[in-house]
Structure formats: C-alpha cells, structure tokens
Chains A and B, each alone.
Chain A
C-alpha cells in the first residue's frame, strides 16, 4: 500500500479554525441519529489512531467531502453498537464507521451558517430532506 512519505505531524500552517474551536465541539462519532452539525475540524492532529496514519485518514475524509464548514446529519445507524453510520455530508450520503468519525469534530448546526462554506450548502441540505 502506498502511504505518503510526509511525516504524520500536523501541517505547518495552522488554518481553518485549528486554533479556535467552539466550546461545544465534539466528535461526530458521538452523535446520534437525527443530529445535525457543522464540521469544525477534520483530522486528529498527530494523535495516533488505531486504523490509519492520521494524516492519511485526514486526507481521505477531506476527499470524500468531510471538510470544515460542511453540514453533516446522521441519517442511519447500524444495528450492532449503532455502527456504522450513514451521514449526509452537504448534498451527498456517505457511510463510515464511528471509529473514523472520531476524527471529525462538529458543532451544533446554526441555520444562519456561521461558516463561509455553510450558507449555500444549507439550502441544498434543507431542501433535500423530505
């Protein structure tokens, strides 16, 4: 398997709210079905995760749409241990395990969209609900 040779440390330039986390930020892995949130941080900042190299996990999550500002909503949960979860990420649906969802920090969704990315997405996401 090919893994980037870059060190697994946090990126050199702290960005995208890495320094200012809202007080109520918590991992997506703890969210229950029906919960709606906004992604405030993706990545574990060098914490060793038992699945992948954290930097690799971070990029994979980003590439499939879990990016700071995205609206997430837990749509479904598996039967055993309420795992995996099906999440609406902006206007698409993604299935993942709670183990990986640990690397995504969310905060309560504010309809007016405190984030630059949030506002436009919000319309789509709201509309897509039945």
Chain B
C-alpha cells in the first residue's frame, strides 16, 4: 500500500501540473491556491515554474507547481526544459514531484492523451484532470470517463478551473490519496527516454484507439471560431482589422483617458493649494509640493492611460486574438528575420518589456531568442506613455483631423509605429546581416475563441494599476525626494541674480553635463531628468516636474505642461520624443536581459546600441526640426 499512496513520505506532498499549452493549468493552479498568475487564451503564457500551496478540505497541506505547457517531455525551448526537468526531478536538485496531475483540454484530447502515455513512462503517480469540462459538455462532446481511465490505466477527474465548484472532485482525489487510498496511478520505475519519431507515432496510434473507444465527437461544435476566423484571418481584411485595432487602441489611450486625467490633476492641484494655504512657506512645504506632489503626482496622472492600455491587451489575450495576430504578421516578422513566435513577446512588450523578454523563452533557437530580446525594449512600453503624453499634450494642438481622429492620438500612433519599425530594422540587421542562419519553423496552435472573463480582466488590470501606483509610491517617491534635495541645496548665495536652482547640486551637474546633450537640443533641466530617468522612463517626467517646480515656483501638476510649452522649442520637444523611442532608460529591463541571457555581454550591447540610436535619432530630429525653423 505504501507504493499506492504517493504522499507517504511525511512532508507536504508536491503536485506538479503538466499538460499541453493553453489547457488551463494556470487557471487550475489559481483555483487551487488562490493565486493570480497570468491566465490567457494562447499557448506559452506560463514560461516559469511557479510554486503555491493550499490546504485541502480534508486538512492536508499540499504544494502545487504550475509549469509551462508542452506537447512532449522532449523539451525544445527553455520553457519546456523547465517542465521536463521538474517532472524528471532534475530541476536544481529538487526531488521528483509526488504526484503528476496531467491537465487536459477536454475539447481537444488527441495530443494530450499522447502526452499522458509519455508521462506514464516517467513512473510517477499520475492523475488526469479533464479540464474545460464545461465547454466539452456545452459542445455535446461525450466522454466516457471510466472507459478512458480504464484504457489509459490512469484515474481521470473532470475539472472546470474557472468555476468555483470546478475543482471539488480533484480535491477529493487529493485528499483520498493523502489518506493512502489507491486513487491515482501508482508510481513505478522511470523508463522515460526521448521518444523517437516512430515512438511518437506509436503513442499517437494508441491515443487514437482510446479516443475511438471513449470519446464521442461534438454534437454542437464550435462554429463561432470558424466564422470569426473567416473574417479575422482573411488575408486582406484580417490585416486591416489588426491595424484598426492597434490604431483604435492608441487613440483610446489618448482620448478616453483625458477626462479622468483632468480629474486627477485637479485633485493634486487642489491638494497643493491646500498645503500652500496651511503650511508656512519653507522647506517642508517645498518638499511636499515641489518634491512629492509635482514629482509623483505628474506620474500618477497617467494611471487612466495605463488602465486603458492594459484593458485592451488583456481583452485581446483572453479572446484568443494574439495567435491570429501572430499569424497575420508572420511574413513581415519573417522578412525581418524574426522567429514566428516572436510576435507575442513583442506585443506583450507594449505593456512592459520585462514580461515580453521573459516570454521569449518559448523560442527554441538561441539566436532567434536573443534577437527578439534585443529588440523587445524598442516596442513602446507603458512607461513611455507619461513621457510621450506630456510632450504631445504640451506641443501638439488638441484638434481633430480627418473628421474623427485626434491629432494627438495620431502622433502617439506614429511614435508606436516608429518603435515597431525600428525593432524590425534592428532585427533585420542582426538576423539577416550579422547572424545569417537557419530559419526556424513556425508551428502554433490557433485556440478556439473565448468570451473574455470579466473577473480575469478586472484582476489583471487591477494588478497592473497597483504595480504602477506602488512604483510611484516607492521608487519614484524616493528618487523625487532625492532630486528635490539636490535641486534645493545648496541655496543661492547672498545677492545672487540667477534662479536659486542654478546654484544647487542638480543645477550644477545639469549645467556641467549640458554640453554633451547640447547638439541634440536638450537643456540642463532635461539633463537632470535623464539621469534619474535611467531607473525607469516615467521617472523623467516626475523629475522634470520637480526640477521645474523648484526652479520656477509653479508647483502644480497641470503647470508642468504649460511650463514646457513655454520653455522648450518644438525642435527640443521632438528631439526628446525621439530620444525616448530608443533610449534604454530602464534599469529593470537591463537586469532581466542579464538574467535571461545569463551574461553581462547582452545588456551591455543593448545599452550601447540603444543609446547610440537614441543620440543619433535625437540629433537628426533636432537638426531637421531646426532647419524647418522650429528651434
């Protein structure tokens, strides 16, 4: 009996969730542990091993591991290697999991049954969770669970990961197993080896045989996906729709956010007015209004835009549109020498380059993966939104062109386009000129469309908004206090004629470094903002807010835009935008590149090439603009 109970070793048992991509492993992990790991409707969402734990209804403490999806233990890419290593007990010296729960998409059993047969060879206690059982029922797919279990030699439980009661049966099984009952396939010896093509065929035939015995095809098949794809994957209409979606998204980021942003701005302005009225003039008042409110406040006002952007991205991801977009873009990406699977990481980089860079783990070829990592930060991430919006609002007139489009939104779209084009160009240089080599295959499942889940959307947006505010409240706040200090001390000497800030440390450093950036039209205040802006792009906006507030006494958030409008030329503003299209102004991104490539070389190359491009782009922009008389 001791062999039958997988949990006989005394410690908290460890369960690993294994399965094909997109079958709901993470949804199940979240349902069991109450975590909020990212769930979305495309293959390759999870690229790391995630650990969680929970207590079963029977009072047993259990550890769960969520793993990247795979079609075989024969790992081909870094994410699949994680799954293979965890399952085989090779992961950083960790022991094998006590129980493998193979998660299956009940509406698409063929490939996962083949995987189950492969997993049996690993010889660990095994259980099959037939997930998405709700959809299978809805489509009238009839699964003879007992027969399936008998033929596979593996116990089977239906689950619905996205419903509250959907994991009851699974929990009962786990409890029973913990009490030593024979409810999971017992462990045997490990006989797994990399299957050859012939062995893959043999397991396919066996899976096919079992399906014929235990599964009756759908009576109400999913015709929606077919119908939608007719339009969304149409060669011409599909591409136009993709462009329209992106275009609409950036217009919305601009126009919809405005009223809420105005509200937040007014709130901050009211707050500083109140503080000005309450506190006596002095250092404390300056710290709060110039340092904290003008600095942090100028970043927080961009929250609505971040929320809108993430709402769009999460909706597209949940709906199942991402793989379609990758399909439509494949030829263009391939032309630039990028791997077909590079599209989704790059699209995620619109949110933030960090998850984008992590998502490149699904790319098997090292050079393809590196090329994608190197261009990911060129995609316009959400941290650039504050910078872009501030400058656009200050310099681009707020009017409508062509009847319906906001001119400001159009400029924003242009900046996004500049980022995408430069990413394709850099990739082209890397993959077509420097590293000419084999072309990797593009093989990707196109999942059925799903109606986005409201709870998932709200949770996802909330998580992002919270992270944004937390950063404003910690990193940005502390940097702003430092900048306020550096811009306020030492004070002006007796009888000084220049503004006090010119005598401060920040003023001196800014003036001292300014010759370096004079050719690209930057003034010393911008220089001061660029340095802390290395921590994160939006810090530059906060720093400008503080520097101008300390320098000019304009201590409210709305004033920053007006101040810039007066004190910068259009050429300088455009040059600043060009700088931010390219500049590697994000320490965390460089850190992730170091971790993911496991070397210092790549972050250094990234820093150097991006700074060079930024400088050259700003130089060209400034001089072209100046020659047009905009200086």
Interface residues of A, Cβ cutoff 8 Å to B? 1-2, 4, 6, 11, 13, 15-16, 42-43, 50-52, 55, 57-65, 67-69, 75-84, 86, 90-97, 99-100, 116-117, 120, 123-124, 127-130
Contacts and interface: CB of A to CB of B under 8 A. Distances in A.
Contacts of B323: 95
Given A63-B200, A127-B217, A84 B72 contact: no
B445 A2 contact: no
Given A13-B198, A127-B217, A90 B330 contact: no
B218 interface: yes
Contact of B201 (A6, A50, A62): A62
A99 B239 CA distance: 22
Given A4-B194, A78-B235, A64 B223 contact: no
Closest 10 pairs (CB-CB, A-B): A79-B235, A124-B217, A93-B446, A76-B233, A63-B71, A80-B331, A128-B221, A62-B200, A100-B441, A67-B204
A52 B71 CA distance: 18
A76 B110 CA distance: 22
A18 to B, nearest CB: 10
A98 B239 CA distance: 19
Contact of B364 (A1, A62, A92): A1
A39 B570 CA distance: 62
B201 A15 contact: yes
B441 A97 contact: yes
B75 interface: yes
Nearest to A125: B217
A13 B194 CA distance: 17
Nearest to B369: A1
B366 A1 contact: yes
Contacts of A75: 226, 229, 233
B81 A2 contact: yes
B110 A65 contact: yes
A83 B331 contact: yes
Interface stretch (B180-188, B205-213, B374-382, B622-630): B205-213
A97 B330 contact: yes
Nearest to B202: A15
30 contacts: A6-B196, A15-B198, A51-B441, A63-B72, A65-B110, A67-B200, A68-B201, A75-B226, A75-B229, A76-B233, A78-B328, A79-B235, A80-B332, A82-B235, A84-B327, A84-B330, A84-B340, A91-B217, A92-B108, A92-B111, A93-B446, A95-B323, A95-B326, A95-B327, A95-B445, A95-B446, A97-B340, A100-B442, A120-B211, A130-B226
B227 A130 contact: yes
Contacts of B222: 128
B236 interface: yes
B434 interface: no
A65 B198 CA distance: 14
Nearest to B326: A95
Interface of B: 71-72, 74-76, 81, 107-108, 110-111, 114, 194-198, 200-201, 204-205, 208, 211-212, 217-219, 221-223, 225-227, 229, 233-236, 238-239, 323, 326-328, 330-332, 334, 340, 364-366, 438-447
A117 B208 contact: yes
Nearest to B194: A4
Contacts of B204: 62, 67
A128 B198 contact: no
A11 B196 contact: yes
Contact of B218 (A50, A90, A100, A127): A127
A16 B72 CA distance: 21
A83 B225 CA distance: 21
A65 B327 CA distance: 18
Contact of A52 (B74, B81, B441): B441
Nearest to B77: A1
Contacts of A81: 331
Contacts, number: 163
Contacts of B238: 79
Nearest to B225: A93
Given A55-B197, A78-B328, A94 B443 contact: yes
A90 B440 CA distance: 25
Contacts of A52: 438, 440-441
A100 B217 contact: no
B227 A79 contact: no
Nearest to A103: B441
Contact of B217 (A55, A94, A123): A123
B74 A59 contact: yes
B170 to A, nearest CB: 25
B76 A60 contact: yes
Contacts of B444: 94-96
Which of A15, A67, A68, A83 has its CB near the most chain B CB atoms (within 10 A)? A67
A67 B205 CA distance: 9
B513 to A, nearest CB: 44
A76 B446 CA distance: 12
Nearest to A53: B438
A51 B110 contact: no
A50 B439 contact: yes
Nearest to A5: B194
A93 B332 CA distance: 22
Given A78-B235, A117-B205, A130-B223, A60 B327 contact: no
Contacts of A16: 201
Contact of B226 (A2, A42, A128): A128
B561 to A, nearest CB: 42
A122 to B, nearest CB: 9
A112 B205 CA distance: 19
A13 B199 CA distance: 11
Nearest to A81: B331
A105 to B, nearest CB: 15
Nearest to B442: A97
Contacts of A43: 197
Contacts of B330: 78, 83-84, 95, 97
B227 A58 contact: no
B233 A61 contact: no
Contacts of A55: 197
Contacts of B234: 76
A64 B631 CA distance: 58
Which of A6, A51, A60, A100 has its CB near the most chain B CB atoms (within 10 A)? A60
Contacts of A99: 439, 441
Nearest to B208: A117
B198 A64 contact: no
Contacts of B221: 124, 127-128
Which of A4, A59, A83 has its CB near the most chain B CB atoms (within 10 A)? A59
Contacts of A61: 443
A74 to B, nearest CB: 12
